[in-house]
Amino acid sequence: MLIVKHISAALFALVSLATPLRAEIQIQPVLSPNGHSAWLVEDHSIPFVALDIRFEGGTNLDETGKRGATHMMTGLLEEGAGDLTAQGFAEAVQGLAAEFSFSSYRDTVAISARMLTENRDAATALLHEALSNPRFDADAIERVREQIQSILASQAQDPNAIAGQTFNALAFGDHPYASAEEGTADSIASLTRDDLITAHRNALVTSRVSIGASGDITAEELGDLIDRLLEGLPQTGPALPSMAGFSPNTRQAVIDYPSPQSVILFGMEGIAMDDPDFFPAFVLNEIIGGGFRARLMEELRVKRGLTYGVGTSLSTADWQPMWLGQFSSSNATVGQALELVDQILGDVAENGVTDGELLRAKRYMTGAYPLRFDGNGSIAGIMAGMQQSGMPIDYIANRNAFVEAVTSEDIARVAKRFLDVDNMLTVVVGQPEGLNTAP
Amino acid sequence: MRRIIAALAGLALLPLSTGYAQTSGDVTNFNLDNGMDVVVIEDHRSPAVVHMVWYRTGAADEPNGKSGIAHFLEHLMFKETETRSSGDFSRIVEENGGDDNAFTSWDYTAYFQRVAADRLALMMELEADRMANLRLNPDEVETERSVILEERAQRTDSNPGALFNEEFRQLAYPSHPYGIPIIGWRTEMETLSREDALAFYETYYAPNNAILVVAGDVTPEEVRTLAQTHYGPLAAAELPARARVEDAALPQDQRFEFADERVAQPYVMRGYRAPERDHGAQEEAAALSLLAEILGGAPSTSVLGRALQFDTQRSVFATAYYSGLSLDDTQFTLINMPSAGVTLAEAEADVDEVIAEFLERGIDPNQFERIKFLYEASDIYARDNASGLARLYGMALTSGLEVEDVQNWPDVIAATTMDDVMDAARALFADAPRVTGHLTQAQAAEN
């Protein structure tokens, strides 16, 4: 596919590949006096620590009829805690120059924090108040409720959000994944303070927490900090959902939207991280839709100018792994672009990939991996995510070997198993032309 | 709930660390004989490096009628050179485990790679090659023009907020080229040619118009040796003076309305023409930076957020924004997104009232002290992000500042008093020409 006219450049690249970079990350497992575990990368060169705290469960834990409660609850954690109102809390955080962020996702409620060494005790106490003792004041609830209604109104006009929500509704039956985690205008309007208290009680549960820390802190100090942060939170919560399954009863949906360009989302069943074929699938995804030199990008953008960008990714969501792709294209070229996608995926399913593609993907993936560990914040996040996914602590040291071990036979097998174009769901938002609308 | 609402308004809410950097001895700068500037930021915590080349040219340097050519050329820089095939650049970077990309603004065009530190020489070889030896294949130019038109469709034409911003800038900069969109006007983009791209390249792409920024696990000596080897042999070019068309005296108070059926959340935006940071003269910009934080920082502690989101619940989101990193005059921007039932006219009056009250009452000393401390801490946090620092120096040096200005900025901020901020606020709100826009929802046409 790629013609190398100039051998010297290619050779130079080969020579310089002789010494692959290794991720020199020393992770210490930490067990706090109260029995909570965490992973730590200790680095005293900058006087602050980054923390990443993830509670398994997330917006999936919304009770029936209370869609959006976990998302709204998470938004209210920084809106007043203990003796401090929303404004008092914000002033206290600013006064310490600490940074807290509270986010909810389908499978997780995540808190990340940066704390200066000089006032870490006070910052820890504040964050503990937010986690364990949020006020849910009436005025804060109404303020955040209106913000969420505004977000919902905007999403209803946003072609990317419309595409995602349509896809999920068609793909996931009556599983929580099928509906927007922010809730609906009606569900948000009806949420009460008690609903938020329940959502808080259900989501922030210590038996489901994963913690990563990186920066200016010792293992002993981190153990104490974690015990202080988690003190008073319940140990167990309600049952987590079961698998969602992927069972759309249509292959294609078109949502009319007034725009010169359409947003296209496509996807099919993916592969779980503990599946023995995960790494071949991971490498395969890189070759098809990972980077700028991937096949879809080459064929749709570089050769034909049909899109500004197209990419695919393996979604390793807890309750249904998926393989997802997205791009935008002018309405007039949507049909042509989608036909190409089908053709490229079908070709890979039948013929696998070339040795050159496999080699290039491995070089990129193994070379780029160590670059992810480029600061306290990213290291803390990666470690929390690894623990949540049940990865062993030596995963970072071994991960590149897993990538290297993938063979072209593995890729061919996985492509056949997994690139099932006949069971792909495609959602188009726009006013597309040239679509093959056969069922 | 601050981030998501900001994202909703389509705002780039930059953290305080932007425009602020460490003053420790980890930053070194020097020049090559051909006039190329070099900045080295040492961070030895991980064996990686960011290699960036910034050109002192962008959309505001485009010839009349050629809007979008700076950005189009940026795309075409990933194609052929005299010794490398189209796509080789990114392929070689990828095969070496690196990520590469580029971006264009009004005052700069920048190219970067993140890669293992031992690949720095290869990155320099590639970047130096395309600085001097670009070749453009006519067929590829045709295809890539479709790509940038798709990019415009995706980023601008599909986004009413982006279209609103385009109209805003046209009024704010009627003659000055900051009024031109970086991506270009569609009708002009459609006519951009291979010759246009090459002419822009020949004029502006030369070592004496470029800044090399390397951040990560390197020493200044290593960078100097490698840069001399790879960039040193390139010949300097004769550069045009960097003088833009100035706007004549602007109308004091311009207004416009932009209606689009895709708007879900209307808002009012007002921009005041404001001075930028200048070499050796950053005091007023420092005062305006603090003013933006006081008026529009965290909603629960800022003047606008408190008045409109807390004391009353008249707004869903209200903020102020200013960045002094710009070669020419910039904007101090206020945004108010009203709650349901509040009109845009009322939302505009609300902002006027809050500002008038602020000018009368002055600054809460406790808030001022907290913000000063936040700036101090952002110095510590910024050191965790070598790529961010590299970007900061690149932006500063293409915006007419010197390394010492970036390093002095914390002291300038620290020395700014509440009186300085109030003086800057009075001057801005009383005298600066302003543009006020209303983004509203149009009724959908009947089918």
Q: Residues A181-219: pLDDT tens digits?
A: 999 999 999 999 999 999 999 999 999 999 999 999 999
Task: Please state, for a pLDDT cut of 70, what percent of chain A lies above it.
Answer: 94
- Distances in Å between the Cα of B163 and the Cα atoms of A154, A292, B156, B168, B318 are 16, 28, 6, 9, 21
Residues 263 through 292 of chain B touching chain A, CB cutoff 8 Å: 263-265
Q: Specify the DSSP element, H or E, that contains B90.
A: helix B88-95
Q: Do A328 and B371 touch (CB under 8 A)?
A: no
Least confident among A188-202, B5-19, B89-103, B285-299: B5-19
* Cα–Cα dist B114/B51, whole Å: 6
**B253-260/B315-322 β-pairing:** unpaired
Q: How far apart are CA A49 and CA A225, in angstroms?
A: 11
Mean pLDDT of chain A: 92
pLDDT (tens digit per residue) in A228-267: 999 999 999 999 999 999 999 999 999 999 999 999 999 9
Please indicate if any CB of chain B lies within 8 Å of the CB of A308.
yes
Is B82 one of the catalytic residues? Answer: no
Residues of B in contact with A371 (CB under 8 A): 46, 48, 97-99, 114-116
The CATH classification number of B27-230 equals: 3.30.830.10
CB contacts, 8 Å: A50 with chain B = 384
pLDDT at A437: 64
CATH fold of A28-230: Cytochrome Bc1 Complex; Chain A, domain 1 (3.30.830)
Span A333-350, average pLDDT: 96
Of the pLDDT bands very low, low, confident and very high (cuts 50, 70, 90), residue B199 is: very high
pLDDT at B8 over 60: no
Structure tokens at A194: 């008690």
* CB within 8 Å: A368 and B444: no
**Could you tell me if A19 lies within 8 Å of chain B, comparing CB atoms?**
yes
- Edge-to-edge strands, sheet with B109-116: B27-31, B37-42, B210-216, B48-55, B109-116, B99-104
By CB atoms closer than 10 A (0-12, 13-18, 19+), residue A119 is middle
Q: In what order do the strands lie in the sheet with B267-274?
A: B253-260, B434-441, B267-274, B330-338, B315-322
Q: What is the mean pLDDT of residues A314-330?
A: 95
Which residue from B212, B219, B207, B363 is spatially nearest to B292, judged by alpha carbons?
A: B363
List the 327-366 stretch of B: residues with Cβ below 8 A of A: 337, 339-340, 366
Residue B366, number of CB atoms within 10 A of its CB? 12
Least confident of A132-136, A258-262, A432-436, B154-158: A432-436
Task: Give per-residue pLDDT as tens, A219-228.
Answer: 999 999 999 9
B62, B69, B55: which is closest to B145 by C-alpha? Answer: B69
Backbone angles phi, psi at A16, to 5 degrees: -75, -10
- Per-residue pLDDT at B20: 38
pLDDT score at A3: 29
State how far the Cα of A238 lies from the Cα of A197, in Å rounded to an integer. Answer: 14
- Ramachandran sector of residue A277 (left: φ over 0; alpha: ψ -120 to 50; beta: rest): alpha
Among residues B74, B127, B284, B348, which one is catalytic?
Answer: B74
A8 — pLDDT class (breaks 50, 70, 90) = very low
Phi, psi of B196 (to 5 degrees): -60, -45
B-facing residues of A in 76-95 (CB < 8 A) are 76, 78-79, 86-87, 89-91, 94-95
- The two tokens of residue B47 are 């064996």
DSSP result, A279-336: HHHHHHHIIIIISTTSHHIIIIIITT---S-EEEEEE--TT--EEEEEEEEEGGGHHH
Provide, as residue numbers in chain B, all residues whose Cβ is less than 8 Å from the Cβ of A4: 85, 88
Q: Is the CB of residue A37 less than 8 Å away from at least one CB of chain B?
A: no
Q: Residue B272 pLDDT > 80, yes or no?
A: yes
Helical residues (DSSP H) of A133-191, grouped into ranges? 138-155, 159-171, 185-190
Q: Which residue has the tokens 């100018």?
A: A305
Task: Tell me what pLDDT residue B1 has.
Answer: 55
B376–chain A Cβ distance below 8 A for any pair = yes
Using an 8 Å CB-CB cutoff, list chain B residues near A258. 261-262, 444
Residue A292: the pLDDT is: 82
Q: Is the pLDDT of residue B6 over 70?
A: no
Per CATH, the architecture of A252-430 is what?
2-Layer Sandwich (3.30)
Of A6, A144, A258, the CB nearest to B84: A6
Mean pLDDT for the stretch of residues A150-162: 94
CA distance B398 to B408: 17
Residue ranges of alpha helices (H) inside A77-119 are 86-96
CATH superfamily of B250-441: Metalloenzyme, LuxS/M16 peptidase-like (3.30.830.10)
For the segment A42-91, what is each residue's pLDDT rounded down to a tens digit? 999 999 999 999 999 999 999 999 999 999 999 999 999 999 999 999 99
What is the residue whose two structure tokens read 């954690």?
A77
pLDDT for B234-263, tens place per residue? 999 999 999 899 888 899 999 999 999 999
Rg (CA), chain B: 23
Do the Cβ atoms of B322 and B14 come closer than 8 Å? no
Q: Looking at the predicted structure, is the pLDDT value of residue B445 above 70?
A: no
Does pTM top 0.90 for this prediction? yes
Distances from the Cα of B431 to the Cαs of A227, B323, B334, B423, in angstroms? 55, 19, 16, 12
Would you call A369 and B146 a contact, using CB atoms and an 8 Å cutoff? Answer: no
Q: Is A252-430 the same fold as A28-230?
A: yes
Whole-angstrom distance, CA of residue B335 vs CA of residue B271? 9
Listed by start position, the domains of chain A span 28-230, 252-430
Mean pLDDT for A410-426 is 93
Tell me the nearest-neighbour CA distance from A35 into chain B, angstroms: 30
**pLDDT (mean) for A352-376:** 93
Nearest to A375 among B340, B384, B444 (CB): B384
Q: Tell whether the model's pLDDT for residue B309 goes beyond 90.
A: yes
Of the pLDDT bands very low, low, confident and very high (cuts 50, 70, 90), residue A24 is: low
- Lowest-pLDDT range of A26-30, B18-22, B204-208, B377-381: B18-22
Domain map (residue ranges) of chain B: 27-230, 250-441
| Residue percentage of chain B with pLDDT more than 70 | 94
Q: At what angle do helices B344-361 and B418-431 cross, to 10 degrees?
A: 140
8 Å CB contact of A17 and B96: yes
For A76, name the nearest residue in chain B, comparing CA atoms only. Answer: B1
